[in-house]
Chains A and B, each alone.
Chain A
Amino acid sequence: MYSEKVMDHFEHPRNVGELENANGVGTVGNPKCGDIMKMYLDIEDGIIKDVRFKTFGCGAAVATSSMATELIKGLTVEQALKVTNKAVMEALDGLPPAKVHCSVLAEEAIHAAIADYYMRQGMEFESDKLCGGCCKECDCEEEHSHEE
């Protein structure tokens, strides 16, 4: 069902845990849908110095969170915002169709954590990827721009 990369990231998740000195923390998803991702960022001079995550969810949810943290570590905030759910999926050698929403959630978690960082800095930030629901199936009526 899952690629070897997905299973590797599920079995040995990278950057799992909390970050005490995080200056950007975002949580997306909800328990009703069975997926919650929380991402912790330590941003210095506009660069993501460190990142951790915690996830409640299926194997794909854990693997996409783990891969997302790997992809954004060391990037500038602007670069991190350009990491799409598609990039996360490709880095994992693909996901089953029913699990695409997990990669969407990973992308949203990055945006939510960065939004929190901007807010703490007193800066303006707008993103159309802060839903926090689980897309399509949730009650959230906003439009999203995700690549399937």
Chain B
Amino acid sequence: MKQFIYMDNAATTRVHPEVLQAMLPYFGEEYGNPSSLYSFANGAKNAIEEARAKIANAIGAQANEIYFTACGTESDNWAVKGCAYANAARGKHIITTAIEHHAILHTMKTLEKEGFEVTYLPVDEYGRIRVEDFQQAIRPDTILVSIMYANNEIGVIEPIAEIGKICREKKIYFHTDAVQAVGHLRIDVKELNVDMLSASAHKFYGPKGVGFLYIRRGVRIQNFMDGGAQERGRRAGTENVAEIVGMGKAIELAYTDFEEKISYISRLRDRLIDGILNTIPFTRLNGPRENRLCNNVNVSFQFIEGESILLMLDLRGIAASSGSACATGSLDPSHVLLGIGLPHEIAHGSIRLSLGEFSTQEEVDAVIAALQEIVPKLRDMSPLYEGVERR
């Protein structure tokens, strides 16, 4: 069989076999509706409450502060819009960053159309916001701050503990999009002074189609869905029982032998970064060396374009993604890569390789070898590379 190497774990992860096993009964014989009164439904009801407790335990929250959603995007929309609307009487100013996921950025654009004012904090060359910039952006009418825990494209970890502390002092609500962080970083919402936190199960070996939003008790926020009494009436709708069970199992597994797994994946990451930077010229790492997600590698190859690299990798059975715009239909490259100050042509030549606990050293070495072959091949074809070797 042709080789297949999955290097896109930041896009989604493979469902862990134990997670799959945990979910199966709830697609089958345990079909009761958790809201039903009779004892047959108790299995489903208990299972989702057990999952809620596991999630709360993993992030240092109380079980009644965890709300199940359909995805990270839903969690982000609920947190930002729900909090903005519920507190609009106090002020209309919101602070976020220029490198958030579109689930946040496009939500902010909607709020701007509705009369809210949004400050987009710039980032430094590694993608980190400056706490001073944040402090200066705070206004008397600032009601909400939303800053991602870790960036999905370049893996930079933001100083959210410092931001959380300031927000708590100033009594401003603080939301963090932790979709890339949950399962990959230790999280304690109390220590971080986070009021709301978004996560998605499929980023930590759980199923697609389920996520959660942590809402600290006492946060003023609108309901997301009106209807029945599910999720304390705030997010009505019959629960996605099997996947909620899967998410609970996945988060429990993610934080089992956590340090060993993270150090294993970090070693693979560093081997991949060094292997690329040390053997292929005109290459740069995007995002920091330290303060970086254990699974993220993002590199720019000068003189060539990202989609071409991805297609060449795909022909060799390697799945990766790019910061190039080409696949998305817009001609502008990623807002994150432009945000860290990369010129357009360098941003266009960037790819993201994201590792996971199922990745191996052999796979990392195979990716390095493939790039050593692909990059010169594309450069030979590139008018931008003409004469560079002779310089």
Cα distance, A57 to B162, chains bound together (Å): 42
**Pick the contact of A62 from B308, B324, B327, B331 — CB < 8 Å?**
B308
Across the interface, do A55 and B307 meet the contact criterion of CB distance under 8 Å? no
Cα distance, A55 to B305, chains bound together (Å): 10
Across the interface, do A31 and B381 meet the contact criterion of CB distance under 8 Å? no
Across the interface, do B344 and A56 meet the contact criterion of CB distance under 8 Å? no
Across the interface, do A32 and B383 meet the contact criterion of CB distance under 8 Å? no
Chain B residues near A98 (CB, 8 Å)? 326, 328-329
Per-residue 0/1 for A41-60: is the Cβ within 8 Å of any B Cβ (1 yes, 0 no)? 00000000000001111111
- Chain A nearest CB: distance from B86 CB in Å? 39
Per-residue 0/1 for A123-143: is the Cβ within 8 Å of any B Cβ (1 yes, 0 no)? 000000000001001000000
Q: Give the residues from 82 to 104 in chain A that come closer than 8 angstroms, CB to CB, to chain B.
A: 97-99, 101
Per-residue 0/1 for B365-391: is the Cβ within 8 Å of any A Cβ (1 yes, 0 no)? 000000000000000111110100000
Across the interface, do B348 and A55 meet the contact criterion of CB distance under 8 Å? no
A38 interface hit (Cβ, 8 Å): yes
B325 interface hit (Cβ, 8 Å): yes
Chain A residues near B381 (CB, 8 Å)? 13, 16, 54-55, 62
Chain B, Cβ-Cβ closest to A57: B305
Across the interface, do A59 and B308 meet the contact criterion of CB distance under 8 Å? yes
Across the interface, do B305 and A61 meet the contact criterion of CB distance under 8 Å? yes
Cα distance, A56 to B308, chains bound together (Å): 9
Chain A residues near B344 (CB, 8 Å)? 31-34
Cα distance, A18 to B380, chains bound together (Å): 10
Cα distance, A46 to B325, chains bound together (Å): 40
Cα distance, A59 to B344, chains bound together (Å): 18
Chain A, Cβ-Cβ closest to B332: A137
Per-residue 0/1 for B304-328: is the Cβ within 8 Å of any A Cβ (1 yes, 0 no)? 1111100100010000000011111
Chain B residues near A13 (CB, 8 Å)? 381
Q: Give the residues from 323 to 371 in chain B that come closer than 8 angstroms, CB to CB, to chain A.
A: 324-329, 331, 333, 343-345, 348
* A55-B381, A58-B307, A61-B305 as given contacts; A134 in contact with B329, CB under 8 Å: no
Chain B residues near A37 (CB, 8 Å)? 383
Chain A residues near B311 (CB, 8 Å)? 7, 10, 59
Chain A, Cβ-Cβ closest to B333: A34
Across the interface, do B331 and A56 meet the contact criterion of CB distance under 8 Å? no
Per-residue 0/1 for A8-47: is the Cβ within 8 Å of any B Cβ (1 yes, 0 no)? 0011010011100000000100011111111000000000
Of B305, B306, B325, B329, which is in contact with the most chain A CB atoms at under 10 Å from its CB?
B305
Chain A, Cβ-Cβ closest to B347: A34
- Chain B nearest CB: distance from A93 CB in Å? 17
Chain A residues near B343 (CB, 8 Å)? 31
- Chain B nearest CB: distance from A64 CB in Å? 13
Q: Give the residues from 256 to 311 in chain B that come closer than 8 angstroms, CB to CB, to chain A.
A: 303-308, 311
**Pick the contact of B386 from A1, A18, A101 — CB < 8 Å?**
A18
Cα distance, A1 to B327, chains bound together (Å): 9
Of A13, A36, A58, A59, which is in contact with the most chain B CB atoms at under 10 Å from its CB?
A58
Chain B, Cβ-Cβ closest to A13: B381
Chain B residues near A134 (CB, 8 Å)? 331
- Chain B nearest CB: distance from A105 CB in Å? 11
Chain B, Cβ-Cβ closest to A6: B311
- Chain A nearest CB: distance from B24 CB in Å? 33
A1-B327, A61-B305 given. 12 additional CB < 8 A pairs? Answer: A7-B311, A10-B311, A13-B381, A16-B380, A34-B331, A34-B333, A36-B384, A54-B381, A55-B382, A59-B307, A59-B308, A97-B329
List 10 tightest A-B contacts by C-beta distance, closest first.
Answer: A31-B345, A98-B329, A58-B307, A58-B326, A34-B348, A38-B383, A54-B383, A32-B344, A56-B382, A137-B331
Interface residues of A (CB under 8 A from B): 1, 7, 10-11, 13, 16-18, 27, 31-38, 54-62, 97-99, 101, 134, 137
